[in-house]
Structure 1
Amino acid sequence: MTIGQLAEIADVPASAIRFWERQGLLPPPERRSGQRRYPPQAAERIVLLRKFQQAGLSLAEVGEFQQDQPRRQAMIRAKVAEIEQRMVDLDHAHQLLTHALRCSRTDIVSCPTFREQMATWSRSG
């Protein structure tokens, strides 16, 4: 398929595909009459690349997936720990916001339930 077809299927601009190629994140496509031609698997790679980015991986970290096993494993462990911490932080934010919707206090910081929750978060984290 052409770069235009791939861009349409993957729902990304062709410029992003060319950029990812220059960064070594997508394998160089074969060329026919000077035009890039992509296999169907290229769309799957782009989906994976975008999922990595949505998970918070930098392009350099995405590149680590193409490196040797020990480097890749170390990066994955660090990223999993980071994501787990973000999940805890998001859970705390969710608890705060859902409580704030129900709380009748003008100043949420003066709410005893909120203050108790904050103390729990401080002890656990």
Structure 2
Amino acid sequence: MTMQHLTIGRAAAKAGVSVETIRFYERRGLIEQPPKGEGYRVYPTEMVARIRFIRQAQQIGFSLREVQELLSLRADPTADCADVRRQAAQKIEEVDRKIADLQRVRAALETVVSVCPGKGGLTDCTIMAALEDGAR
């Protein structure tokens, strides 16, 4: 059984990403740039699964640096599931901090919106006044 190779365009289509995304991942060292075949680069079909793994990890919130760490764990035969679980738990803590920050921002916005008259000139706008007071 011979291993199938794909052009960058076909690999991108199968992985559900753009050609530029594949090139970006290559520049970041997340995937290896294959050697040129007959005038163009040919990607092994296994590369599609790796690209999908990277995209899925990004979609659930992992940064590219963190994805690189996950890929390193994936390639390490001595790695343990606990290592991955620890990274995911840290990501949850980070998400919780971001949610708390966004809730503070929302509360501040609700405060300034609640006292805004909603009409009249900008000189009477309490939102603009609050922003100007905060900038001093």
* Structure 1 residue 26 displacement after superposition: 0.8
Q: TM-score, normalised by structure 1?
A: 0.57
Aligned match of 2:60: 55
* Structure 1 residue 84 displacement after superposition: 6.6
Aligned match of 1:82: 91
Give the number of aligned pairs.
Answer: 88
Aligned match of 2:14: 9
**CA contact under 8 A between 2:30 and 2:68: conserved in structure 1?**
yes
What is the percentage of aligned positions where both structures have the same residue? 38
Q: TM-score, normalised by structure 2?
A: 0.53
Q: Aligned to 1:65, what secondary structure does the other structure show?
A: helix
* Structure 1 residue 13 displacement after superposition: 0.7
| Counterparts of residues 1-125 of structure 1 (less than 5 Å) | 1-67=6-72, 69=79, 73=83, 77-83=86-92, 86=95
| Runs of 4+ with deviation above 4 angstroms | 84-87
The one-letter amino acid of 2:20's match is: S
* Structure 1 gap ranges (5+): 90-125
Output one character per residue of 1:25-78: Cα deviation in whole Å (capped at 9) or x when no partner: 0122231133110111111111100111011111111111244659xx3x7514
* Structure 2 gap ranges (5+): 1-5, 74-78, 100-136
Q: RMSD in angstroms over aligned alpha carbons?
A: 2.9
